[in-house]
Structure 1
């Protein structure tokens, strides 16, 4: 177990970051007890756990596939190009922040191991980070979040866990008689928790339009919460489009998110920000 870690606080923060339901429990692996985090949508036995451990020098999170997770490993091996790009971005971001990442597929730890064409029978993903010197309880919690978040991002990118797909109405069906099939599947657009996490990692949790911060106003209840806006509506993206979480996504509070969608097409975030700032300035002058 990871002593000094508030596992429930960590779980809640990860849920907010990825918008994926997660539960925690103790898990015994090779005779050792570990705090484990699991996505709620995957049945235990066929899914995976992120095992957490620590030494006096570092914190570590490790991916562990369940005994009957062959279907999950197959899904990982057949990841789309967009999912692979999200995986590589997550890995590069973690390494750039001072986190160590080890990935091996079927024992192959090369740079391009995720391109391995063979059936994936074994997947190793280990993420670790050293504690700062003179660490405090807050340092432990912060380090644990960085490590667990990076490990989750890598795994979610390849498994597609937490992604939502929406059927987009085909305009050619308009005018069909009532009772006819009015919806056909045209494209399926992913809403990736990994892209969401990468966007927040870059911009932070403050609304990029009005500056609202949920933690400032709501305290622990709002810690880690923010909505993420697609600058280009997902319905306008082609099926092969690879989302750039920095250019295509931006964090907004619920009010600003609603306001940009008051127009069709949605208003530019910069336009709404100018409107908000102009009204604030006018109010200050009127006082």
Structure 2
């Protein structure tokens, strides 16, 4: 059985946006439904995932009066569209197929999202998998992986505002946010995209705050810019797949001991040599 509550909790923790998960049955099969809590019925949307014997399918399900949200997604600027494209290309490279239609016209590739206005939006994803034959834990992990990527794809086009930066003591990559129609904090979309692609373990040392500290650390990680923010020009567009990586607090601090920062791969190499020398 799909643990919809647990899947929603994990995604909420990693993306720092609140989702609710429910399970329903259709044609004798379980269907996982996820919903962004800041998009109230009937003005938002849900995402449904259907695991079958050989694949997991995901689909955007719009509410009756979701026009304002679809319109806002269509007005996403060039940088947010670039994040969507980067996520989509990475998902496709890892075996996911995507079908997108705007105003009932099929979109040929994530890089060719049409200009506004958007009145109707359809997005479907599918990934072949043998997880069901490997057991319930493998199937749950595959459903989580697909739902995390698909949720982040939609999130990348949504405008939202930060709601807790003051509580985070200067760590915007750890802040929570809520969806809004006309306000957003760009760095949080990039963080969510980085986490969706790379996970929450430190890429240099493998440290996982959730494994070490339990629930209080679950989903926490710092996000490192390979190109320092101070070196980015005003026209620089961050690619969360290639420009951002998750680092634990220790490795992040070590990376910035030098200018330019030490590459995460070099930190990993240093740690490996230290371990072999002991």
With the length of structure 2 as denominator, give the TM-score of the two structures: 0.73
Offset, 1:242: 0.9
Are the structure 2 counterparts of residues 203 and 271 from structure 1 closer, same or farther at C-alpha, using a change threshold of 3 Å? closer
Q: 269-278 vs 46-55, which deviates more?
A: 269-278
Give the whole-Å Cα distance in 2 for the aligned partners of 1:241 and 1:233: 11
**Rounded Cα–Cα distance in structure 2 between residues aligned with 1:189 and 1:234:** 15
Match of 2:194 in 1: 199
Of 116, 126, 143, which aligns to 2:114? 116
- Give the distance between the partners of 2:135 and 2:212, measured in 1 at CA: 26
Asked if structure 1 preserves the Cα contact closer than 8 Å seen for 2:4 and 2:23, the reply is no
Distance in 2 of aligned mates of 1:50 and 1:103? 14
2:10 is aligned, of 9, 13, 18, to 13
Q: Provide the C-alpha distance between the structure 2 equivalents of 1:76 and 1:6, rounded to a whole number of angstroms.
A: 29
Q: Does 1:45 align with 2:55?
A: no
- 5 Å-filtered alignment, 1:151-170, equals 151-161=150-160
Structure 1 segments of 4+ aligned residues over 6 angstroms from their partners: 162-166, 263-266
- After alignment, is 62-71 or 112-121 more displaced? 112-121
C-alpha distance in 2 between matches for 1:200 and 1:146: 11
Query: Separation in 1 of the partners of 2:240 and 2:116?
Result: 30
TM-score, with length taken from structure 1: 0.71
Between the two proteins, the alignment pairs up a number of residues equal to 256
Residues 51, 163 of structure 1: CA spacing in aligned structure 2 closer, same or farther, 3 A cutoff? farther
Moved more, 39-48 or 195-204: 195-204
| 1:241 corresponds to which of 225, 236, 241 | 236
Q: Which residue pairs with 1:217 in the alignment?
A: 212
- TM-superposed CA distance for 1:243, in Å, is 0.4
Distance, in Å, in 2 between the alignment partners of 1:99 and 1:274 is 30
Output the CA distance in 1 between the equivalents of 2:269 and 2:277: 12
More displaced 10-residue stretch of structure 1: 206-215 or 41-50 = 206-215
Show the counterpart of 2:146. 147
Partner of 2:267: 273
Aligned to 2:55: 58
Q: Is the 8 A contact 2:4 2:22 kept in 1?
A: no
Write the distance in 2 (CA, Å) between the matches of 1:81 and 1:19. Answer: 23
How far has the Cα of 1:118 moved from its partner?
5.2
Tell me which residue corresponds to 1:229. Answer: 224
Task: Give ranges in structure 1 of 5+ residues lacking alignment.
Answer: 167-187
CA contact (8 A) 2:205 2:268 kept: no
The answer to whether the 8 Å contact 1:208/1:250 transfers is yes
Q: Is the 8 Å Cα contact of residues 98 and 129 (structure 1) preserved in structure 2? A: yes
State the Cα RMSD in Å: 3.9
**Contact 1:58-1:131 within 8 A present in 2 as well:** yes
- Equivalent residue, structure 2, for 1:250: 245
